[in-house]
């Protein structure tokens, strides 16, 4: 906002000034803040300073001049405070109150002091000039930091005001004709120029607020796009990791499928030989057919688990039984466990321990932990894996402790970071993907050395609340 420096004190211009804070308040309805409120208050006070002289016939003479001067000072002070608050460096309110009171006291002292006329007349424009330069300084900071055209408009309009005040001070120091004049009579600007400068400052402030709102919207949109991109990439990496994990156990699964297929073949051949020799009765034929059906269903169950595990999917949140998915992954890894002679201990829990999440992704976390444990115990003669599933008041804890050599203390800080691995064929993504999956489920994964040897993978997830679905 711009305070009066020339012959601007009339009701018409005051009403024009009064429209600007109202316009700012309406235009920035959705962006209102303490900064906007302070700037509007400053513009409103300057408008009041324009309206008061028109009421001079109805007001005491001793009141009008100090009120106009004080309103202008307070208006400029609010403008400076608005910009300082925008930059996070506001004045304290008690300092502003003290400055206002001090300005009024010095003004009254100058008004009633005889002698030193130049100093008395120069006090008000000098204070105004200092406030205007403060606005220029803070607006220029905003312009530099944010490349704001609105802030440049504030700078330009207040520079015009500063030039006008400078002319007043020059005329007071070197008066024309050697006669001192009142500062308002010595203004070098026309009323129209002064009004345009004030409007330019207020429009510039609107521009600053709208530019910032647009920039924040663009930053929020970009942040949301990056978040969605990271989530999509995370899902793709998780899917690739599941495919890689499936490739590592493919040979074992072939052995797993070979057992029911062999049983089906044996039952079918026995039924065929018996039918050819007419030696089997109805009960024996039904028994062989039941075996074929049973083993066929075993194959169907195995293939469905495999298909579901490697199928791409997003986050499909539903109640998940941690014990159930852990036992399913143990069954999937049975061929590897038998081939390497790993003894597994997993006591039954009793009541289901339910968490909210995606069963496929949580199964992937368990499978990664099992796979790492099997690889670790291959380095020691005694190969065992202890699995404990417990619950507390608010979370479920799944702990997998192996009898392997444990973690190298020198590398412990790097374990779990993307692309770090101690395996020749490893990608270093298993633990980081598992951690990311658990974070999406508001859970956590901790890998540490266990007491007495070996390593322990500690998986924690929020427990599903009673009645949750």
Q: Pairing state of beta strands 384-391 and 318-321?
A: unpaired
- Counting beta carbons within 10 angstroms of the beta carbon of residue 191, is it exposed (0 to 12), middle (13 to 18) or buried (19 or more)? middle
Cα distance between residue 313 and residue 199, in whole Å = 57
CATH hierarchy code of domain 249-311: 1.10.287.130
Do 249-311 and 315-469 fold alike per CATH? Answer: no
- Counting beta carbons within 10 angstroms of the beta carbon of residue 320, is it exposed (0 to 12), middle (13 to 18) or buried (19 or more)? buried
- Counting beta carbons within 10 angstroms of the beta carbon of residue 327, is it exposed (0 to 12), middle (13 to 18) or buried (19 or more)? middle
Q: DSSP for 280-345? A: --HHHHHHHHHHHHHHHHHHHHHHHHHHHHHS------EEEEHHHHHHHHHHHTHHHHHHTT-EEE
Asked if 459 and 369 count as a contact pair (C-beta separation under 8 A), the reply is yes
Report CA-CA distances (Å) from 346 to 98, 303, 328, 340.
Answer: 75, 24, 12, 18
Domain regions of the chain by residue span: 11-223, 249-311, 315-469
**191-248 vs 11-27: helix axis angle to the nearest 10?**
10
Cα distance between residue 144 and residue 152, in whole Å = 9
pLDDT of residue 190: 45
Q: In degrees rounded to 5, what are phi and psi of residue 110?
A: -65, -35
Q: Residue 62 half-sphere exposure, CB side, CA atoms within 13 Å? A: 2
Residue (of 107, 144, 140, 113) closest to 126 by Cα position: 107
SS3 389: strand
pLDDT of residue 419: 35
Asked if 151 and 139 count as a contact pair (C-beta separation under 8 A), the reply is yes
Asked if 367 and 245 count as a contact pair (C-beta separation under 8 A), the reply is yes
Q: DSSP for 376-387? A: HHTTSSS-EEEE
> What is the widest separation between alpha-carbon atoms in the chain?
142
Asked if 124 and 104 count as a contact pair (C-beta separation under 8 A), the reply is no
What is the H or E stretch that residue 39 is in?
helix 34-51
Q: Pairing state of beta strands 343-345 and 384-391?
A: parallel
Residue (of 364, 372, 419) closest to 242 by Cα position: 364
What pTM did the predictor assign? 0.45
Q: In degrees rounded to 5, what are phi and psi of residue 442?
A: 60, 30
Q: How far is CA 262 from the centre of its chain?
A: 57
Count other Cβ atoms within 10 Å, centred on residue 409.
Answer: 8
Task: Give CA angle at 44 (39, 45), nearest 5°.
Answer: 100
Cα distance between residue 201 and residue 204, in whole Å = 5
Report CA-CA distances (Å) from 178 to 46, 184, 188, 389.
Answer: 32, 17, 17, 98
pLDDT of residue 323: 92
Asked if 319 and 356 count as a contact pair (C-beta separation under 8 A), the reply is yes
Q: In degrees rounded to 5, what are phi and psi of residue 203?
A: -65, -40
pLDDT of residue 242: 61
Supply 71's token pair: 């309103």
pLDDT of residue 425: 43
Residue-by-residue pLDDT tens, the chain, 469 positions? 555 444 444 556 666 777 777 777 787 777 778 888 888 888 888 777 777 776 767 777 677 777 888 888 888 888 888 888 888 888 888 888 888 888 888 877 777 765 555 666 778 888 888 888 888 898 888 888 888 888 888 888 888 878 888 887 777 776 665 544 544 433 434 455 666 777 778 888 888 888 877 887 888 888 888 777 777 766 666 666 666 555 555 554 565 566 677 778 777 887 777 777 777 677 777 777 887 887 787 677 666 655 655 555 555 678 999 999 899 888 877 877 888 899 999 998 888 899 998 887 788 788 888 888 888 888 888 899 999 999 988 899 999 999 888 876 655 454 444 433 444 444 344 577 778 778 888 898 888 888 878 889 899 999 987 645 4
CATH hierarchy code of domain 315-469: 3.30.565.10
Cα distance between residue 440 and residue 234, in whole Å = 10
Count other Cβ atoms within 10 Å, centred on residue 32.
Answer: 13
- Counting beta carbons within 10 angstroms of the beta carbon of residue 329, is it exposed (0 to 12), middle (13 to 18) or buried (19 or more)? buried
Q: Residue 351 half-sphere exposure, CB side, CA atoms within 13 Å? A: 5
**149-173 vs 117-146: helix axis angle to the nearest 10?**
160
Radius of gyration of the chain (CA): 41
Sign of CA dihedral 423, 238, 460, 309: negative
């Amino acid at each position: 906002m711009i305070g009066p420096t020339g012959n601007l004190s009339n009701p018409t211009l005051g009403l024009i000034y009064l429209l600007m804070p109202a316009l700012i308040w309406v235009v920035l309805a959705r962006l209102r803040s303490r900064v906007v409120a302070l700037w509007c208050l400053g513009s409103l006070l300057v408008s009041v300073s324009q309206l008061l002289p028109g009421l001079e016939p109805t007001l005491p003479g001793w009141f009008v001049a100090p009120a106009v001067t004080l309103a202008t000072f307070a208006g400029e002070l609010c403008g400076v405070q608005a910009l300082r608050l925008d930059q996070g460096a506001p004045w304290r309110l008690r300092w502003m109150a003290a400055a206002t009171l001090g300005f009024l006291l010095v003004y009254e002292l100058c008004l009633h002091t005889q002698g030193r006329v130049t100093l008395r007349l120069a006090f008000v424009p000098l204070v105004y000039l200092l406030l205007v330069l403060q606005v220029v300084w803070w607006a220029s900071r905003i312009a530099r930091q944010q490349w704001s055209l609105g802030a440049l408009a504030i700078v330009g309009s207040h520079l015009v005001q500063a030039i006008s005040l400078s002319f007043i001070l020059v005329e007071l120091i070197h008066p024309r004709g050697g006669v001192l004049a009142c500062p308002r009579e010595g203004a070098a600007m026309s009323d129209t120029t002064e009004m345009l400068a004030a409007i330019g400052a207020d429009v510039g402030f609107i521009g600053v607020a709208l530019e910032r709102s647009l920039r924040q919207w663009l930053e929020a949109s970009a942040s949301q796009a990056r978040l969605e991109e990271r989530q999509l990439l995370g899902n793709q990496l998780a899917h690739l990791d599941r495919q890689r994990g499936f490739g590592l156990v493919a040979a074992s699964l072939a052995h797993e499928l070979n057992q029911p297929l062999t049983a089906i073949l044996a039952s079918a051949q026995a039924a065929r030989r018996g039918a050819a020799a007419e030696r089997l009765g109805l009960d024996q034929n039904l028994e062989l057919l039941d075996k074929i059906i049973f083993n066929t269903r075993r194959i169907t169950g195995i293939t469905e688990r495999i298909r579901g595990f490697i199928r791409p999917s997003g986050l499909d949140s539903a109640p998940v039984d941690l014990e159930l998915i852990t036992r399913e992954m143990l069954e999937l890894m049975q061929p590897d466990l038998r081939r390497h002679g790993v003894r597994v201990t997993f006591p039954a829990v009793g009541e289901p321990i339910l968490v909210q999440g995606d069963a496929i992704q949580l199964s992937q976390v368990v499978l990664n932990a099992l796979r790492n444990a099997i690889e670790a115990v291959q380095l020691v003669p005694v190969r065992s894996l202890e699995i404990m599933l417990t619950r507390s008041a608010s979370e479920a804890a799944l702990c997998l402790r192996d009898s392997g050599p444990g973690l190298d203390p020198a590398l412990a800080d790097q374990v779990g970071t993307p692309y770090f691995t101690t395996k020749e064929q490893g990608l270093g993504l298993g633990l980081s993907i598992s951690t990311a999956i658990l974070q999406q489920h508001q859970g956590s994964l901790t890998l540490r050395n266990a007491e007495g040897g070996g390593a322990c993978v500690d998986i924690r997830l929020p427990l599903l609340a009673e009645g949750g679905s």
